[in-house]
Structures are given as C-alpha cells and as structure tokens.
Structure 1
Amino acid sequence: MINGEKFMDRPLRWGMIGGGKTSGVGYKHRTGAQRDAANYQLVAGAFDIDEERGRSFGVNLGVTAERCYADYHVMLEEESKREDGIEVVSIALPNGLHYEATKKALEAGLHVICEKPLFFTSEEGEEIKKLAEEKRKIVGVSYGFSGNQMLLQMRDMIAEGAIGEVTMVELQYTHGYGADPEGDTKNPSQQWRVNPKISGDTFVIGDLSTHTIYMSQLILPELKIDQLLCMRQSFIESRKPLEDNAYVLMKYNTGAVGRVWTSAVNCGCVDGHRIRIVGTKASLEWWDAIPYEVSYEIQGEPIQKLIRGSDYLSDACKADERLGVLHVEGLSDAWANVYRKIALAIHAKNNGDEEALAKMVYPDIDAGINGIKWIENCVKSSNQGSVWVDFE
C-alpha cells in the first residue's frame, strides 16, 4: 500500500512545459506528480504562450518568478546553468509540439513525461527512443487512466487462467462533449484538437482510444494486434478529414478478436470508458465511472463484484492501493500512481538498476510508440476504404 514515504533521498526537481492556467490537463499532471510530495518538487516552468500570464500563474503555484520562463527553450538553457536545475520535465502541449519539446529536453539531459499521443510518426518515436537510450533517460507517457490498480487485478487474474482463454476484447471510450460544433471555435482546448496541423491525422482515435488501447495491453501483455479494420466518421462535417467517431475491429496473434468504439459525439454520455475481456470460462469488466470495481462474471454463476482495497486481491493490485477499502479513489489517484511509477523508473535509471527497470510496468517510450502505430494503422485502414491491414 502506498503511504507517501520517500524512496529517494530527495524529490526530483521537476519542471513543466505548458499546463498553464487555461490548460485542460495541467492540473492533472500537478496533482499526479505532487500527490506524493517525496517524489517531485515543481521548481520551474514555461507554463503559457503568454509570458506574463504564465509567470503570474507559476508564482501562484509557488514557483519563483525568475524560474517562470517565457518559453521552454529559455527554460532549458537557463536551468542547465543551475546546480539546482530541473531533472525531469512534463510536456503538456498540443500534439504537434511534443516531438520537438521532447527532443530538446532529452538533449538538455532531462527525463521526460509527455502527453499522448506521443508524436505524429513512429519514425519520430524510434528516433526519440534511440536518443533516450543514448542519454540514459526515461521517457514516460501520461496514460493517466492506466494507474487504476484494478486493471492490474484483471491482468493477474487473466494470467492465472481465471477466465480461461481470452476470446474477445471489447473497448469503449466515448463521450458527448464534442457534439456541439460551436466548441470547435469557442473552446480553446477543443480548437487545436480538430486542427490537423496541430492534432495530427486523427481526433478521437488519437485523443481518446490511445488511452484504452494502452490499458488493454497493460491487462493483456501477451496479446498483440495482427490486423485491424478502421471505419471513421465526421458527423460534424467541418471536422473532416478528422473523425469524431470511429469503430475499429481487431484480430490478435492468439486468435482472439476485438472491437473499439471511440467517440466525442455520443450525445448524453458523460463517461463511456469501459473495458470488457471475455474468456472461455468467464469475463471481466471495468468501467471508469466505477473505477474501484471489477465485475467478475463466471458462466452459470452469480456475478461477483471485486472491490479495490480488499484482502482477496492480487499483490500487484494491492501495492498500488492508497486509501484503503471503503474510501473511494479516482482519476487523481490513478495519475499519482503513474507519476510514482515513472519516478521509480527514473530512480532506477539514475542508479543503473536495469534489472529493476525491466520488471516495472508503466507507460514507457515503447507504449508511446505503440500508440503512434495504432493511429497510423487506423488511418491507413480508413483511408484505403476501411479494409483489413497488417498492424505494422
């Protein structure tokens, strides 16, 4: 169980690129990193494209004015001159800016935690992976939902054969908050998401389903996608060529099949983030609206509800517990778990402990590259008329 104790001599000196006052994700990063104060200390930032607004915001967060920078290029240069300069940086910028910022941060000798999807192309991902290896630095990806510990319970139960052989994987991440076309011009956090120059080749496939695909791979590490077929729709015409709804069919290396539905126009839906794994004996289902619970459904028997914090759960699941049974955890705790695991990875990398690093389960650079490949293959299938393509 996590209780906030330190595992390093001191917190990592941490900076942020983006994540300012108008950011939709900045606070998630800060609550995730600083939930365990022994892991990260926010000491610098280039928070905003508006220098004065960024400085004012940073000071209100407790960062000294001199370390609230006009842009991240200045921050990286100035922090490198300090004995107490930052050691790790989080990148909370629009998609099209991830690659350059990550590369510059690695070249400055920093560990990186970056928003998803990581970059535009898998070639960029492989280049950054090589650079990170040369610099001996960690690149983590903020798949925040993956920190829900009940996903580890599903992983362990499936590995132990509790549901038999996996036959079907049903994934959904949908909401209705993109159903109003006026949001494309009036909502700053939505404007760039529907601009291909900034968001890349997709809207909801990159913005939403990359989360769920990574979570499914966390649960099912032995299953690899062999082929997929993607059908994309732009129900709000002005968003073309970007999709606001998509269906993807998948074939896995084991013979299992899967389906993904991702949408920003599922009108009335507030939280449609679900994962259902079906086996030959039973099924497991998790829903983000009730993140502390997994439904265990054995064919011919009453449905069981597995609740986080309980003694009967697996060791890996209980290791990520924070509040104990009866007390509800949520997305902030999941983000904190992800940030903690990345801090553990950084600590292991800094100390040359590759053996410990190899055993860690967290969203690393390979997870980020696989997310890029997911997007690339979905776009390839869709653009060819929604045909089956080999997952490359």
Structure 2
Amino acid sequence: MGANKRIGILTSGGDCAGLNPVIRAVVHHARGNYNWDVLGICQATQGLMTRPPQAIELDIHDIDRLLTLGGTMLGTTNKGDPFAFPMPDGTLQDRSDDIIEGYHSLGLDALIGIGGDGSLAILRRIAEQGGLNLVGIPKTIDNDVGLTENSIGFDTAVNIATEALDRLHFTAASHNRVIILEVMGRDAGHIALSAGIAGGADIILIPEIPYKLENVCRHIKKRQDRGKHFCLVIVSEAVCTEGGEPVTQMQQFGECRLGGIGQYIASQIAEYTGAETRVTVLGHVQRGGIPSSSDRLLASAFGVAAVDLIAQGKFDQMVVWQNRQVSSVPIAEAIKHYRNVEADGTMVKTARGLGICLGD
C-alpha cells in the first residue's frame, strides 16, 4: 500500500484514557512516513451509518495536543448493535450494510478500529461481510481482551484507583473506619487486584475468587486485636453477594448495570463486626483524566504498529503487547481468549504473600 492511500480510524465502546494518543500516533506515522490521508470517523460505527458519513480529515498539525488529552476527540458509543440497531419507530434493523457502504463512500483502503472485545467482534463481523480491511487496537480499562498483556486505558484506571486508596487511608485511620472502595472492571478483577496491591488495601475482593463474609470479618477482627482499628477494602463491581447474586442498578433507559456491591459489603461488615463503615464508588472517574505515561507509551506503540500492519497488507489482525514488545494476533483469536484474573497467577500470589485477605 503506497502513497496517496486513505485510511480511517474510529474509537468504539466505552471511553478511556489513551485513545487520543493512539489517534495522534496513527496520524503521525501514516501522514508523516507513508503520506497517506487519515480520516477520523465520528461516533464510531454510527458515523459510517450517517449520510453523508461523519468523518474529519486529520493532519499532523492538528493532533499534537492529543497526547495528554483524555477521552476521544472522535466520540464513541457503546449502544446500538449495528446488526440489530434500534430505529425511531421502535423496530430493530440490520444496518451493517450501511456501515460497509459508508466505508466505501469515503474511499477508505483500510480501517483501524480501537475497541474492547465486544466492539472488535462487531467490527470484525462487518469487515468479513463487506470485505473491509480492518486492523484492531485493544482498549479497555478492564484489561480483559485476550492475548495482550495490557490494553489501553488500564494503567490510568489503576493509577486513579490507587490514588483513591492513598487518600482514603488517612481518613480511615483518623476515624477508625472500614472504608470500602468499589471500582470498575466488568467481569474481571484486574483493576481491584492491581490497585489493591499498589494502594495497600487490607482486603481485595474480585469476581474470580469466591469469598466468605466470615473470612473478611475475621481479618478485620484480627487487625482490631492488633490495635489496627481501621481497614481498607477494595471490591470489583462484578463481585456477587455471598449467595452468588450479582448486584446491579437500573439505569435511565431500563438498562441494568453492575453497581452497588460496595454498599452490600459495607452493611454486612457493619452488622458482623460493629465497625463503622463508609463506601466510595469511583465510577467514571476511572475513565477520565490525563492518560498515564504508560498508557501514552502503549498507545503510541500500538498506533505505529497498526499503520505498519496496513502497509504490510496484514488485515484482520489486532496489535498486542507481549513479552515487552508489540506483536499482532488474529482478531478472532484475541476475542476467543477472554482474559480474567488467574486465581493462581503472580498478582494473586503477591497479594497473599503480603498478607492481603482475598476473602477465600
């Protein structure tokens, strides 16, 4: 793929820190070293559905500010499956062909899709259907995309959760309270585990390791017996009640989302130990803000590698971070291998070695 080619880039799914640095890296490499045109697709696949398609031309002179900018300048969406897209009349319509037509109407030679496993699965299905040249870049604060050691956004989310624990430590100690920090992560406990270790949590609860409240309360009692009358607990949003029931909250449009396990844990601890408890829910704070240096580095490496894959004609591939370097794997393989916390993995062993209670 030589000069005068045109590639598109879009961000899909939930936002996170590091998306803008990816866009910056793609534009720098594609424009500066290959002399290609780069179009940013607005609002993910919805931008390709719109007529005319919503896209902006990206130039090197316009994107240097993106290195430290959170979120995504292109906008994104995690609603509306293109294969069953909700229409104004309440019906569901397959709009995948509209996306394919939008790709071709923009004269694109390839598309870089930045997303999690759900977004990449949808993009790959559309690409197969329409014969589109697709390269994927993994991003998610949950860090659950398969075959890559890290995804864009994870490090920043962990830093934010760690800072929250650092701050909560002092107020917990001042009032002899048990403070529970509830963090995101969807079905994986990577954020809770990593931040819990880095932030000195006393108890870490993650969905991959079943817990018993008796064990949690016993750990708190042991600390009290040693004169430590405060405790920091970090819990992942996907942790269930002791009976195995997920804790969810109803959203504005009837959508059920994970949330509320922190309050459940707090009330149970208060009942069984008599300790004064408080709950902090970080929520979308973990998604926002300035990307960490690690996320900027990973984003830059992924963006450059994605452009090189296009230059080599290697499509249906996702860039990954493995063994301290960038590589690529088939998107289908990455999606197939969901990456949750390994119960006997290094981070779990580290937590146990530090005397952190995991509830089991």
TM-score, length of structure 2 as denominator length: 0.38
Give the greater-gyration-radius structure (CA): 2
TM-score, length of structure 1 as denominator length: 0.36
